[in-house]
Structure 1
Amino acid sequence: MAKINSESIKKLKERLQIRKPWDSIIIFVLNVLIAIPLFIILHQNLIDPNWPLHLDRVLIFIALVVSIQLVLRLLKTILIVCIFFYLIALIYGSIFGKYGFVAVFEDYRAMVFAMADDPNPEDIIISKLLPFPNKSKTLDAIDYNNPRVRNFALAATRKYFNEVKSNRKDRLMIQCFAVFKEIRNKWNYVNDPKGREYIAYASESLQHFSGDCDDHAILMAACIRAIGGTPRLIHTGGHLYPEMLVGHKADLETANYLIKEVLFVDESRGKEIHYHIDERGQIWLNLDYTATYPGGPFMSEEILGALTLE
């Protein structure tokens, strides 16, 4: 009986084993397929020491490839099983909206682009700032529940970038960028009445798309919030402007790629993406009317206060 079992196992191994040179080719391909998503996960979660030419990431990738190669060599007798389960996992993720083939490709593409074209971080904004001026009036003016505000934001998402294919995670970001583009294209700067601070409701500004920086920031914040985004207003000595929550490092890489390679190619060509980091490590992109693309340059003024809508 033992001899029969031994012969059965031997025959099974022979069936699973791939003949040369195909075993080396398949091991190499499988190595690459496994290394890419693992490297993306490591890249997004490890602290970036900012080595020149991203040498730290190069060394991590080399070590990862060598390690996987050694493991696959040891498992080459069951290589078919490894390939089968790996493909099944990606197929399942693609069908049911989890992490699949498209997600691997998009994350890898955004990561490589971001490594070659770093965004430009600004000062970390902490929560202990000065009291926000006219806070209650400003919050009331951001009437994102108003049907006119909601409908305008929805129309902007249909007008711009609706044809851009995206996964569920990136769709909201793209739609917020569409809102930015629509308001930026329509906005006409007009001063407040002399000697008076006039705070217009977002629904009011939709009538003429005119006003000062406060009115623009309020309208932008209301529209971003109306479609599910998280905006905040930044107060400086003589200026008020809106920002949009992007997320963390991996989300910034996606935003950087979308802005510079897909959505605002002409406006952002040769320019950097500017953002702030809050005390929780969250990243906020500039959406000021002075910028021609999301993440455009800030007006260089000292930040005095921040008002976040959550």
Structure 2
Amino acid sequence: MTEKQPNKFKRIIKSFTLPKPWDSIVILLLNILILIPVFIILHQNLIDPEWPFHLDRILLFLAITAVMQLLFQLVKRFIFFVLILYLGVLIYGTLFQGYGFNAVYEDYRSMIYAMSENPNPQDVIVSKLLPFPNKNKILNSIEYDNPKVRNFALTATTKHFRDVKGFREYRQMIQCFAVFKEVQSRWNYVNDPKNREYIATATESLQHFSGDCEDHAILMASLIRSVGGTPRLIHTKAHIYPEMLIGTKADLENAVYLIKEVLFVKESKGKEIHYHIDERGNVWLNLDYTARYPGGPFMSEEILGALTLN
């Protein structure tokens, strides 16, 4: 009886063993499916040595492929069960908004797009900047907790990009981009009164969507902050404009993909993405009213100050 049980177990295992060449085909399929998320995780968390032509990432990709292939060859007899388990995980993620088939596809497209694109970073902003002009008055004008400001931001997020699928972890970024799109489509530049610096509050600017660059920056900072984003204002010799915290360079890759391939396709076609990197390595994206898409061209002036809303 004890001898028959192992034989029976072997027969069961053999019945689920894939015949050639299907075993090799399934191994290749699994290698591709599992390779993508593993590579993306490592790609986003390893330091980028900035080798030419992304040679470091190419070598990483080949190394992961070789390791995966070796592991699958070692469990070749159980490869059918491995395939069922992995597909089950992806199906569960797809049905319950976890990491599913669509997430694998979007991650892969974002990775390939980011490696082929060449965004246009500016000089790193050093910490030793000049005092920000009218700092206290500007801070008091950024009314991010005012119900009118909050309600307008919420309206913008329901009007634009609400039906974008996937990118769950970048939902807040997408909502901030929706706010930018709504304000950019309505803003009307009007000068301050002659010989006077007039600083409008966010709620004032919401009445007519008019004002100078300072008023626009205050309004954008208020709206971005009201939906959970982190804005800051950049001061140059004759201009003030808002920026939004994107995060790391890995987050920037996803932001570039979202802007150019999903959200602002026409506006950004053939254009570069402009951003700053601060002394801590954080990436800040330009949201100036002069740009038709997030990350549009800067006003080419030397940066004199930065005011961040934490």
TM-score (norm 2): 0.93
Q: Secondary structure at the match of 1:200?
A: coil
* Residue 294 (str. 1) matches residue 294 (str. 2): yes
Cα shift at 1:9? 4.6
User: Superposition pairs for residues 133-282 of structure 1, below 5 Å?
Assistant: 133-282=133-282
Contact 2:102 2:166 in 1 (8 A): no
CA 1:143–1:280: 2 relative to 1, 3 Å: same
Cα shift at 1:302? 1.4
Q: Secondary structure at the match of 1:237?
A: coil
What amino acid sits opposite 2:230 in the alignment?
T
CA 1:280–1:95: 2 relative to 1, 3 Å: farther
The aligned counterpart of 2:34 is 34
Q: Give a deviation string over 1:58-106, Cα, whole Å, max 9, x none.
A: 2221221122111111110111221222223323333443322222211
Distance 2:85 2:166 in 1: 26
Distance 1:236 1:20 in 2: 67
Q: Secondary structure at the match of 1:123?
A: coil
Distance 2:166 2:94 in 1: 13
Contact 2:103 2:166 in 1 (8 A): no
Contact 1:92 1:100 in 2 (8 A): yes
Cα shift at 1:274? 0.7
Cα shift at 1:164? 2.3
Contact 1:246 1:284 in 2 (8 A): yes
What amino acid sits opposite 1:277 in the alignment?
I
The aligned counterpart of 2:72 is 72
Q: Secondary structure at the match of 2:124?
A: strand
What amino acid sits opposite 1:258 in the alignment?
L
**Number of residue-to-residue matches in the alignment:** 310
What root-mean-square deviation, in Å, do the aligned CA atoms of Structure 1 and Structure 2 show? 1.8
Unaligned segments of structure 1, at least 5 residues = none
Q: Secondary structure at the match of 2:232?
A: strand
Cα shift at 1:201? 0.1
* Residue 16 (str. 1) matches residue 16 (str. 2): yes
The aligned counterpart of 1:102 is 102
CA 1:96–1:279: 2 relative to 1, 3 Å: farther
Cα shift at 1:268? 1.1
Q: Secondary structure at the match of 2:123?
A: strand
Distance 2:266 2:283 in 1: 24
Cα shift at 1:216? 0.5
Contact 1:35 1:68 in 2 (8 A): yes
Cα shift at 1:221? 0.6
The aligned counterpart of 1:124 is 124
What amino acid sits opposite 2:62 in the alignment?
I
Cα shift at 1:233? 0.7
Unaligned segments of structure 2, at least 5 residues = none
Cα shift at 1:194? 2.3
Distance 1:36 1:246 in 2: 23
The aligned counterpart of 1:285 is 285
User: Superposition pairs for residues 34-53 of structure 1, below 5 Å?
Assistant: 34-53=34-53
Distance 2:19 2:308 in 1: 62
Contact 1:122 1:277 in 2 (8 A): yes
Contact 1:90 1:99 in 2 (8 A): yes
Percentage of identical aligned residues: 66
Distance 2:258 2:21 in 1: 41
Distance 1:263 1:188 in 2: 23
Contact 1:127 1:306 in 2 (8 A): no
Distance 2:154 2:280 in 1: 30
The aligned counterpart of 1:81 is 81
Quick check: 46-55 or 34-43, which moved more? 46-55
TM-score (norm 1): 0.93
